[in-house]
Amino acid sequence: MTKHLRAKKQYQNTSRQFVGKKYSMSSLPNIEHSIAIPYQLRVLFTERAFEPANPLVRQLLCTKESGARRKAIIYIDEGVATANSQLVPQIEAYFQHHRADLNLRGIHLLPAGEPIKNETDYLKQIYAQIEDQKICRHSYLIAIGGGALLDTVGFAAATAHRGIRHIRFPTTTLGQGDAGVGVKNGFNFRGKKNFVGTFSPPFAVVNDFAFLETLPEKHLRNGYIEAIKVALIRDASFFEWIESNADALNRFDPDALRQLVHTSAQHHVTHIATSGDPFEMGSVRPLDFGHWAAHKLEQLSDFRISHGEAVAIGIAIDTLYSQNIGYLDAPSADRILALIKKLHLPTYAPELELQTSENQNATLAGLEEFREHLGGLLTITLLKQIGQRFEVHEMDTEKILQSIAQLPR
Ligand SMILES: NC(=O)c1ccc[n+]([C@@H]2O[C@H](COP(=O)([O-])OP(=O)(O)OC[C@H]3O[C@@H](n4cnc5c(N)ncnc54)[C@H](O)[C@@H]3O)[C@@H](O)[C@H]2O)c1
Ligand SMILES: [Zn+2]
């Protein structure tokens, strides 16, 4: 053994001795402190937030310590702006009306949907505008749009100056009930969903129901599946409520829509705030029920399949799998699949047949990617009953393929 190797071995032995002990390698003690950071997760409900008589936005931006006029840059999803031609002039008029308190530093339209999360140019554009407008950590970055736009602007807000106050206005049912009310943002890299991102609670979320009036049918339905998801893992009575209101939801009855969005948001926020793991340090992710296959299907379809549609298929697969491994009873599995179908959400996509060059079903790769993304032990949420979940750390490939083959088409 060379002198160098001997020294290295001796160092490794010494280090092992200290593993798990509160000793420093030197004679000086280590320094350790817990840091508790109180976060307020606020989801405010309103309608027509930018009508001059609605005080919510002004009150929200003008916090106690504010002296100067509050600066804000606003980013709007192009799809939302196109569907609401009055939105931009209305916001300009709102800030003009409240100009004593508010200082609007620009309104910018950004492309809608998943493409914005695939292309770094938009992120660079946002950083440049933050810099140009001298937006500081006490200014606001406001995002109005679908989950994809919120994820991108949220990431820019969390990283520019290491964190600018960020207010989200989700404009889809999926955003108002799930994507917009959580603490994550994300950006895709090399086609992998949310490969880049942070855990960063927004300053506030404003769920303005009036935005849903222009949302296309397909996207109205997408929020239904995240509500079904949260009901399946947490609340059987919410599942029953969705079942008994399925006709109203199919008519997009405003009261039913609002109730669904509100209960879904409440469950998502409550889970994040009370599960003991808001920043997902552990391996258990019940809110990602059905998502291991969903994220892979979105990617395999080159994002032709929307997030909500992919989650519907992913939930159908994991429901059948829960049945096939002997946990969920057949009548419950049938009820879940019937509700997804009744709400005109998909339970199958041709991408499920794609094979890899090694002749493996391509969707299965989603499991390993899911594990890699979450870190630690593979942990998949499954169902014991409607409203009652459990976790497994491995899945049987044959049984997954059997579940895929049983999907209603
Ligand atoms: N950060 C999170 O915790 C989290 C959670 C779940 C999902 N997500 C992400 O959210 C994204 C999906 O979000 P989404 O379902 O809201 O879809 P989306 O952002 O893709 O938007 C869907 C489409 O609807 C249009 N649109 C949005 N609001 C509209 C309105 N009011 N009127 C007319 N058109 C409107 C958009 O322009 C777009 O074309 C995915 O990228 C997903 O990964 C994030
Ligand atoms: Zn989701």
Q: Is 70 left (phi over 0), alpha (psi -120 to 50) or beta?
A: beta
Domain 217-405 part of CATH 1.20.1090.10 = yes
Looking at the DSSP bridge assignments, the partners of residue 109 are 76
Q: What is the DSSP code string of 46-107?
A: ES-TTSTT--HHHHHHS-TT--SPEEEEEEEEHHHHHH-TTHHHHHHHHHHHTTTTEEEEEE
Q: Which two tokens stand for residue 231?
A: 């009901």
User: pTM for this one?
Assistant: 0.90
pLDDT score, position 27: 84
Token readout for 202 is 């927004």
Ligand 1 pocket, 268 CB below 6 A? no
Q: What pLDDT does 64 receive?
A: 64
The predicted pLDDT at position 274 comes to 93
Low-confidence ranges of the chain (pLDDT < 70): 1-24, 64-67
Contact criterion met (CB below 8 Å) for 357 and 321 = no
Q: Kindly tell me the sign of the dihedral angle through the C-alpha atoms of 43, 48, 50, 54.
A: negative
What is the rounded distance in angstroms from the CA atom of residue 310 to the CA atom of residue 305? 6
Q: What pLDDT is attached to residue 15?
A: 47
Q: What is the 55 CA–ligand 2 centroid distance (Å)?
A: 32
pLDDT attached to residue 63: 74
Check pocket membership of 211 for ligand 1, CB cut-off 6 A.
yes
- Tell which CATH architecture fits domain 43-214: 3-Layer(aba) Sandwich (3.40)
pLDDT for 295 equals: 93
Atom of ligand 1 nearest to the CA of 211: 31
Give the position, in ligand 1's atom list, of the atom nearest the Cα of 112. Answer: 37
Residue 106, CA distances (Å) to 87, 91, 162, 171, 363 in order: 14, 11, 21, 20, 43
Q: Ligand 1 within 6 A of 288 CB? A: no
Amino acid (1-letter code) at residue 259: Q
Give the atom of ligand 1 at the shortest distance from the alpha carbon of 183: 3
- Residues 189-205: b if buried by 16+ CB within 10 A, e if exposed: eeeebbeebbebbbbbb
Which residue has a Cα nearest atom 6 of ligand 1? 179
Reported as a single tens digit per residue, the pLDDT across 40-98 is 999 999 999 999 999 999 999 987 665 678 899 999 999 999 999 999 999 999 999 99
How do residues 194-217 score in pLDDT, each as one tens digit? 899 999 999 999 999 999 999 999
Q: Report yes or no: 202 and 39 within 8 Å, Cβ to Cβ.
A: no
CA of 215 from ligand 2 middle (Å) equals 18
Report the nearest atom of ligand 1 relative to the CA of 212.
31
Output the six-digit token pair for 368: 């390993």
**Start-to-end CA span in the chain (Å):** 66
Nearest CA to ligand 1 atom 41: 148
Distances (CA, A) of 256 to 244, 249, 387: 11, 6, 20
Which residue's CA is minimally distant from atom 27 of ligand 1?
146
> Which of helix, strand or coil describes residue 382?
strand
* Nearest-10 Cα torsion for 379, 381, 382, 387: 160
Residue to mutate (ligand 1; options 78, 84, 219; most atoms within 8 A of CB): 219
Domain boundaries, the chain: 43-214, 217-405
Q: Is 229 in the pocket of ligand 1 (CB under 6 A)?
A: no
* Ligand 1 geometric centre to CA of 174 (Å): 7
Instruction: Return d(Cα 306, Cα 215) in angstroms, integer.
Output: 14
The DSSP H or E segment spanning 109 is: strand 102-110
Nearest atom in ligand 1 to 213's CA: 31
